[in-house]
Amino acid sequence: MVDSIIAAASVIAAAIAVGFAGLGPGIGQGNAAGQAVEGIARQPEAEGKIRGTLLLSLAFMESLTIYGLVVALSVLFANPFVGG
Amino acid sequence: MFTFLLSKIEVGSHLYINFPNNLHMHGETVIVSSLVVLTLILGLILGTQDLQKIPKGPQNFAEVVYELVKSIAFTQMGPSYYAQFLPFVATIFLFVLGSNLAGALIPWKLIELPSGELAAPTNDINTTACLALLTSLAYFSAGLKIKGIGYFKRYIKPAPFFLPINVVEDFTKPLSLNFRLFGNVVADELTVTVICSLVPLIIPLPIMMLGLFASSLQALIFATLAAAYIGEVIE
């Protein structure tokens, strides 16, 4: 009984972890991409440099989402609280 | 179902290679990472064997790789120190790139193991943890080597009460490196596997392309961050 409650709570926790971890970086990536497009529109010759920096910073923001995913995966597949 | 020819989706199961004294190794990680290392060694030996003024064949490839890792190390550490840490950064970059691409390009799922499945070595958190710990070891020793005992002044900058934050940062750096690489590789593989189990044809292809791109970007980021951490302590 306790185990099934923990399992149900873990599933909800995984969903919440991934959902909220996607929220902030999503806003951040949207901001960054928007600014990059603006920069390219203003200065088309700087496109290569802007693209490189944009990809690198997008990957850094992506890693915040990935932290949430790692927490969700460990809660789903390697839960320390289930089954003792 | 039609999927019985392929190995099953398994998370957290490994092909254990046991040694008598309670020593277990994750067989699939060891096999694939030794393959990656062998391929890298062979490729680089071929590329640097008979060097010519005008490169041709594999030497072109070796020069491109060298220029890439050199630019990573150069921009993070500056002209006077980059040369002595270039081998470390290059090794990290090539190994991470090689193992990510090995997981993405080679159809390992066709080979069935008794337990676990062959995949990218960075799919195993032990590999990425080892790489991250090596990075923190590298920047500690770089700081001690170049600054001597004055390295520890870094911990009370900009003010003495920053000491706990600076100490905690030493632990969060390898942790975040570790989770970033592991999470990205696992996320790619899980997405591809889940979409393959829903729609096995054509639809997974763009996701696989995205995974290929993301995994080479992760290698670049891991190397850039390792170089940046070293550059931060020696500047």
Contact yes or no for A63 and B217 at CB 8 A: no
Q: Which of B180, B188, B193 should be substituted to probe chain A, the one whose Cβ sees the most A Cβ atoms within 10 Å?
A: B180
At B23, list the tokens.
């020593």
Domain boundaries, chain A: 2-77
Q: Is A73 on the interface with B (CB under 8 A)?
A: yes
pLDDT for res A20: 92
pLDDT for res B1: 36
Using one digit for the tens of pLDDT, what is the confidence trace for B150-175?
A: 888 888 878 888 888 888 888 988 99
Which chain B residues have a beta carbon less than 8 Å from that of A66?
A: 179-180, 183-184, 187
The answer on pLDDT for A69 being more than 70 is: yes
Number of structural domains (chain B) is 1
pLDDT for res B97: 93
Region A2-77: CATH code: 1.20.20.10
- With b meaning 16 or more CB within 10 Å and e meaning fewer, what string describes B47-58? beeeeeeeeeeb
- The DSSP-derived string for B118-148 is ---GGGSHHHHHHHHHHHHHHHHHHHHHHHG
Taking Cα atoms as reference points, which of A10, A51, A8 lies closest to residue A32?
A: A51
Q: Structure pTM?
A: 0.84
Which chain B residues have a beta carbon less than 8 Å from that of A69?
A: 183, 186-187
The answer on pLDDT for B11 being more than 70 is: no
d(CA B182, nearest CA chain A) in Å: 8
Q: Is A43 on the interface with B (CB under 8 A)?
A: no
Mean pLDDT of chain B: 85
At B131, list the tokens.
């790489």
Closest chain A residue to the Cα of B225, Cα to Cα: A60
d(CA A67, nearest CA chain B) in Å: 6
Predicted confidence band of residue A84 (pLDDT cuts 50, 70, 90): low
The answer on pLDDT for B121 being more than 50 is: yes
Taking Cα atoms as reference points, which of B221, B93, B198, B165 lies closest to residue A61?
A: B221
Residue listed under structure tokens 């490994």: B14
Which residues constitute the domain of residue B28? 3-8+16-114+122-234
